[in-house]
Chains A and B, each alone.
Chain A
Amino acid sequence: MSYNLKEELKKEDRLSGGHRMCAGCGSPIAVRTILRALNPEDHAVVCSATSCLEVSTFIYPYTAWKDSFIHNAFENAGATISGVETAYKAMKKRGKIDETWKFIAFGGDGGTYDIGFQSLSGAMERGHDMVYVCYDNEAYMNTGIQRSSSTPHFADTTTTPYGSVIPGKLQQKKNLTKIMVSHGIPYVAQTTFIGNLKDMSEKAHKAIYTPGAAFLNVMAPCPRGWRYPSEKLMEVTKAAVETCVWPLYEVVEGKYILSYKPKNKLPVEEYLKLQGRFAHMFKKGNEWMIEQVQQEVDRNWEELLKLCEM
């Protein structure tokens, strides 16, 4: 059956409203889209790393999660959900349960690219039947917009402020999706909010129903950290895709497949100009920064195209 957003939205939301995430934040949209990709009859245990998502959805005595949910700590969502998944295997073997359960972990880029990297790598390498979703908002937003290894080059954050000597973050963004591919897991994909959310929804379904470990990297902008008006969320993600800053692709059993190729690849300014964190790059004398970012984006894009042709 082909994808239809109206039909999708008829499914019961598995994350209820009333949580305390900001308007215009990508994270809860990603969560709801991904959980909608579960077959409605299947049970799930959801895990979240300590993050905005966790502290805003499970404030005692309330929870926004309709499925069983576990939060453990900042750096161990990968290990925690792998423990739950292993318990499922153990209980199934002993005849204690017979229904189908799925296991999905969410972490921000801080909890995934950085402090939770080892735990994630371990879980992926061991091949648990699970999906790890990184909602990548490119900085430590929960503590107030500090740089992470996912923060893009030159971005202004509270620990890489644009200063008179140092012009924002000095390093490029780490390519975590490729690192996950290197784990040899059966399914890896990169996605964000585009159009009717078909791309994210279909990738989530594949990730959840591919046996073994799967990884989804979701660009999930943060209006406070990126400094865009909250209603412009999907304008920002669309620009990320059309400039090839955040290409949509998947890697199935090691095979790279491009999900979308812009007809006219837009210059990076079209993406950068929408966000306050890059405002300094448009100051007179800072043109070199934009040029450099353009070169980096071009190089990564060409590399990805080659991988997809192979």
Chain B
Amino acid sequence: MGIRERLSGNEAVAVAMRQINPDVMGAFPITPSTEIPQYFSTYVDNGQVDTEFIAVESEHSAMSTCIGAQAAGCRAVSATSSCGLCYMTEMLYVAASDRLPITLAVSCRALSGPININNDHSDAMGVRDTGWLMLFAETNQEVYDNYLQAMRIGEAVELPIMICQDGFITSHAIENIELVEDDKVKAFVGEYNPKHYLLNKDEPMAVGAYATPTYYMEAKRQQAQAMIDAKDVIRKVGAEFGEMTGRTYGLIEKYMMDDAEEAIVIIGSSAGTAKAAINELRAEGKKVGLIKIRSFRPFPSEDIAEALKNVKAFAVMDKDDSFNAHCGPIYAEVCAALFSNGVVGPKGINYIYGLGGRDVRIESIKTVYAELDKIVETGCTGETYRYLEVRE
């Protein structure tokens, strides 16, 4: 039986880090992830962990130190948000191509401008092609659970992993949470023993080669394969975690989807709001359901196609806009998933919502289902690229 606690999402990450006791943390403060290195520094300075903490001068250096430390043979971790994630973007690509399983906690926040400190997913979505594994959480419990699984997943496929949560909504809100005992965490996460590393006196190693066109594409193909292989690893680690805690995880979560005629596809904390809306609509007899994406990278194409194939209409919710005069990133990928898997029946629309912390209420989600009702009735989607609850 786990330990009952009340923690914010940021604190939950810090506690998970304390239990794992990584070798090196390089971090720079930025709202709303600042608390993670703050809490963790307290553990370091009070001797609760023996991690070396590097208080760097920027996020770019945070990721650069993590790359150096992980390549040297250590577990390296960091935390960031928003512009900080943008600032490390260049290094995110290097971490992935060097195949270094660094763990990065992201408390998602809007990007400037206008400058805004509240939640949306434009930071995380902006780095979706960097080659990192990306797990998203709905609740503080999921943030904690995802963090405990992160290193097992990343190290198995030799890819870095981001554990994303919603800034303020979960990062700062305090929820009841069940922690796993320290010894069980250590046994579950295990030791990091890389095959090759810089500080191996018996085998010098060179990292970060210049690759000509003769080799570059093969390196990228191997990265792509690691991402494909990660799907099974995430399922296996999620199942093993379930055996330990009773909380089993896959690539997506389906809610009331068995007989659903209308569905919402969503990511992050708003899934909870959507579930509440579904409960109310179900009470009225409406056949509505939800697909929550947990693993955005790798993208669960088959699972989503399978889950949506029998619905009449669906709405994909993007807390970010691609500014392509067309749709947000999750909608684009969901539609590609359906098309590639031969699912062409359901009618789909896209909502850009919750930007810069715009509140998402149960009523907000209900208006989306009301629109889906109309589409089912008329057979006509109308404009597919829509903004939810915006003054125009």
Chain A positions within 8 Å of B, measured between CB atoms, are 43, 45, 47, 54-55, 58-61, 63, 65-73, 75-76, 78-91, 93-94, 96-97, 99, 101, 118-119, 121-123, 125-126
Q: Find A122's partner among B61, B70, B209, B210 (CB 8 Å cutoff).
A: B61
B64 engages A90 (CB within 8 Å):
no
Distance (whole angstroms) from the CB of A105 to the closest CB of chain B? 10
B209 engages A86 (CB within 8 Å):
no
Residues from chain A with a CB closer than 8 A to the CB of B60 are: 75-76, 79, 118-119
A83 engages B68 (CB within 8 Å):
yes
Quick one: which of A45, A47, A73, A83 has the most chain B CB within 10 A? A83
Sampled A-B contacts (8; CB under 8 Å): A60-B211, A67-B204, A68-B205, A86-B68, A90-B23, A119-B57, A121-B57, A122-B56
* Size category, B interface: 35 or more
Given A69-B207, A79-B60, A86 contacting B198 (CB threshold 8 A): no
Residues from chain B with a CB closer than 8 A to the CB of A75 are: 60
Extra A-B contacts (19), CB below 8 Å, given A45-B72, A76-B60: A63-B206, A68-B204, A68-B206, A76-B91, A79-B56, A80-B68, A83-B67, A84-B68, A84-B72, A84-B198, A86-B69, A87-B72, A89-B52, A91-B73, A91-B74, A91-B199, A97-B201, A118-B57, A119-B60
Task: Output the nearest chain B residue to A59 by Cβ-Cβ distance.
Answer: B210
Q: Is there a chain A Cβ closer than 8 Å to B237's Cβ? A: no
B199 engages A87 (CB within 8 Å):
yes
Residues from chain A with a CB closer than 8 A to the CB of B64 are: 72-73, 76, 79-80, 83, 119
Residues from chain B with a CB closer than 8 A to the CB of A63 are: 206, 209
Residues from chain B with a CB closer than 8 A to the CB of A99 are: 201
A58 engages B26 (CB within 8 Å):
no
Contact digits for B44-82, partner A, Cβ 8 Å, 1 yes 0 no: 000000111011111011001111111111101000000
B209 engages A84 (CB within 8 Å):
no
A45 engages B24 (CB within 8 Å):
no
Residues from chain A with a CB closer than 8 A to the CB of B70 are: 83, 87
A61 engages B215 (CB within 8 Å):
yes
Task: Output the nearest chain B residue to A75 by Cβ-Cβ distance.
Answer: B60
Quick one: which of B67, B68, B74, B205 has the most chain A CB within 10 A? B68
B65 engages A69 (CB within 8 Å):
no
Q: Complex Cα distance A67/B203, Å? A: 9
Task: Output the nearest chain A residue to B57 by Cβ-Cβ distance.
Answer: A122
